[in-house]
Amino acid sequence: MKQIFILIGFISIVFCQDLAQNPKLGKAFGTNTGVFFNAGTNRLDLEGFFEIQSSQGLFGEIWVMQLDRDAETAAEVNSTFGWMKEVAPNMILGGGFSNYANQNLNEIFMGGNIGLLTLIGFFGLEESPTNLLGIFDLNFGPLKNIPVDLSMMSVSDEAGSDLFFMLKKTMTKGFIAGYTFSRERFEWEEKKPFKKQEHTKSSSHQDGFFNTIYIGVTF
């Protein structure tokens, strides 16, 4: 499965954003930039993005993530372009193309937002599996007027799914802070002794619980 946090960032910036932030009539283009620091169960890194939008719904963006001091990891670069438009009150539709440079992976995506629900499908152009992403906004009923954004997200493919509970607070001057609790699949690799001094490696997929906090600024 692709980098889950790229998906979270992409969805939160594009499909779940307030369309009132898009370029106003009479202004052809608008831009959005952000930098985030992430600290969690298995990560401590920086990431950032640059996005450009048109008043007709076209957009393009570049994400650079996993900037850390770990010699065993490398920076991830993702670029996306597509179209997104509010086609009816409380209904957003869109689609486009994504490239994950480090993984040599290309995908098309399509989906939309209707009220509290966001659904998007990612379809690999090579042999990569299809990924389905769903986000449900929890800010309704007694939680409608609380001062934070609450949501639940599921990312699924043919092998299973990962679940996320997300909390986000947007403050003045573009400052953002958030927390994510997740149940995710991961691959565990173990060395086992075999014969004399030789070892073999075996791997298995397991489920684990993870916590991540982040702070950032958009401008």
User: pLDDT 10s per residue in the chain (219 long)?
Assistant: 445 555 555 555 556 555 545 554 446 778 889 899 989 877 788 988 898 888 888 889 898 888 887 777 788 888 889 998 888 888 889 899 988 887 788 889 898 889 899 899 989 887 777 888 899 999 999 999 999 999 999 988 888 889 999 999 989 888 999 999 999 887 665 555 555 455 555 555 678 899 999 999 988
Instruction: Give me the pLDDT at residue 12, please.
Output: 56
pLDDT at 205: 66
Q: What does the alpha-carbon distance between residue 59 and residue 146 come to, in Å, rounded to a whole number?
A: 31
Q: Hey, what are 60's tokens? A: 């393009």
Would you kindly state where each structural domain of the chain is located, as residue ranges?
A: 4-218
Give CA–CA dist 184/94, Å, rounded.
27
Q: Which fold has domain 4-218?
A: Porin (2.40.160)
Please name which of 106, 94, 10, 107 lies closest in space to residue 58, comparing C-alpha atoms.
Answer: 94
- What is the pLDDT at residue 55? 82
